[in-house]
Amino acid sequence: MGDRIRIRRIRGNAASRQADQFLLLRLFGAWKITLVVDESHRIKRFRGGVWAPALMELARYARVRQLL
C-alpha cells in the first residue's frame, strides 16, 4: 500500500482527544477512512464514558470498521 496508508494514534488528555475527534470527523467526511480500534476491550463504558461514545460517533462515518 506504500504511502497510501496513514496512521494516527490518539493519546493525551481529554481536551486534546476531543480536538482530535473533531479533526477525525472532518477527515472521515472528506475521505474514505478505515477505522481500526485496537484493545477494544478497554472501551466499555457507553454511559458516562468518553471513549465508547466518541468511537461510536466516528464509526458512523467510517467506510470500514475493524475491532481488534
Check residue 14 and give its pLDDT: 73
Does residue 49 sit within a domain? yes
Please state, in angstroms and rounded to a whole number, the distance separating the CA atoms of residues 2 and 16: 29
Check residue 38 and give its pLDDT: 77
Check residue 1 and give its pLDDT: 53
Does pTM surpass 0.75?
no
Does residue 3 sit within a domain? no
Does residue 45 sit within a domain? yes
Check residue 42 and give its pLDDT: 67
Name the nearest CA neighbour of 38 among 2, 9, 4, 61: 9
For residue 67, the enclosing domain spans 32-68
User: How many structural domains compose the chain?
Assistant: 1
Between residues 39 and 21, the one the model is more confident about = 21
